[in-house]
A = this chain, B = another copy of it.
Amino acid sequence: MTRQELIQQIREKRSFLCVGLDTDLDKIPAHLLQTEDPVFEFNKAIIDATKDLCVAYKPNVAFYEALGPKGWESLKKTIDYIPAHCLTIADAKRGDIGNTSTYYAKTFFDYLNCDAVTVAPYMGEDSVTPFQEFEGKWVILLALTSNKGALDFQFTTDASGEELYKKVLKKSSKWGSENNLMYVVGATRAEGIAEVRKIVPHHFFLVPGVGAQGGSLEDVAKYGWNDDCGLLVNASRSVIYASNSADFAIEARKEAQKLQEEMAQILTAKNF
């Protein structure tokens, strides 16, 4: 999916919601456990219930990997099932050198046919650019994460007072363009979002941390907005685990709709 197609989807659906598919056998409704592929059955129901309300889905690869080869099958079936009008993001946080990164890229872009994959920046340019050689695909690079541990290294300042996450943004923005590179920017650091937006005015941000982690959608829009919206706000548990009974998909839709309606108001207020 191209940047223009993504922007078009945001306009049409009045939403910049990404639904995180952190699908966990310990949390999905018990009645699904009798099916042949409970993970896929759960995802299918969630996708059917929310696909008109969101513009992206983000399976968290850890949950699928932990199930062995069967988990990878469920992941592939899920990606295949997501309609083409939604961006598919493999939240994998990979990062290795040259040839190895190319193999990770092949996994997510060729084998699974995802649109985007999350990547960690610690190993530098030659760990990121192999992903960017895949035409029409996206790297979503970790910049400022939403967790407590973000404080350990991401805010380390250099001699000129510049934090590491800013250096990551400045350097990496030269490795790709706003057409193949986005950034992970956590909603729990509202002021941080504004700082990131100053450095990369045109890039899209994937924003985790709204809802369960305490970030506010209003703040994200206030600090992160750009002329093309420039935001994909993720919600995982608050949507997909809204209920663990037979009505789980209906309740997931209600939660997604609340977020979509709030987003529609923001888009309208921004004359988008």
**Chain A positions 51-96 with a Cβ under 8 Å from a chain B Cβ:** 60, 62-63, 65-70, 72-73, 76, 91, 93-96
Give the bracket for the number of chain A residues in contact with chain B.
35 or more
| Contact partners of A68 in chain B: CB under 8 A | 72, 76, 111
- CB pair B121 A122 closer than 8 Å: yes
- For residue A132, CB closer than 8 A to chain B, the reply is no
Question: Which of A76, A122, A127, A147 has the most B CB atoms < 10 Å from its CB?
Answer: A122
Residue of A66, A104, A171 contacting most chain B CB atoms (<10 Å): A66
Shortest beta-carbon distance, A213 to chain B, in Å? Answer: 9
Using Cβ atoms and an 8 Å threshold, which residues of chain B touch A120?
Answer: 93, 95, 120, 122-123
Query: Quick one: which of B66, B100, B103, B156 contacts A111, CB cutoff 8 A?
Result: B66
Rounded to whole angstroms, the CA-CA distance of A127 and B152 in the bound complex is 11
A124/B97 contact (C-beta < 8 A), A157-B158, A158-B156 known: no
Task: Give the oligomeric copy count.
Answer: 2
Please name all residues of chain B whose beta carbon is closer than 8 Å to the beta carbon of A60 when the two chains form the complex: 96, 100, 103
CB distance from A25 to the nearest CB of B (A): 11
Contact (Cβ within 8 A) B107 A66: yes
Pick the contact of A125: B96, B125, B142, B148 (CB < 8 A).
B148
Within 8 Å CB of A122, what residues of B? 120-122, 142, 145, 153-154
**Known contacts A62-B100, A72-B72, A96-B93; A142 and B123 CB within 8 A of each other:** yes
A70 contact set on B, CB distance < 8 A: 69
Q: Which residues of B contact A69 (CB under 8 A)?
A: 69-70, 72-73
Tell me, yes or no, whether A269 is within 8 Å of chain B by CB: no
- Of A107, A152, A154, most buried by chain B (CB within 10 Å of CB) is A152
Q: A128-146: contact bitstring with B at CB < 8 Å (1 yes, 0 no)?
A: 1000000000000010011
A-B contact pairs, 30 of them (CB 8 A): A22-B100, A60-B100, A62-B100, A62-B104, A63-B100, A66-B104, A66-B106, A69-B69, A69-B70, A93-B94, A93-B95, A93-B120, A93-B123, A97-B146, A120-B120, A121-B153, A122-B142, A123-B142, A123-B147, A124-B148, A124-B152, A124-B153, A125-B152, A127-B149, A153-B171, A156-B158, A156-B167, A157-B159, A159-B159, A164-B164
Q: A62-B94, A91-B96, A95-B120 are in contact. List 7 more A-B contacts (CB 8 A).
A: A22-B100, A60-B103, A62-B101, A65-B104, A69-B72, A158-B159, A159-B159
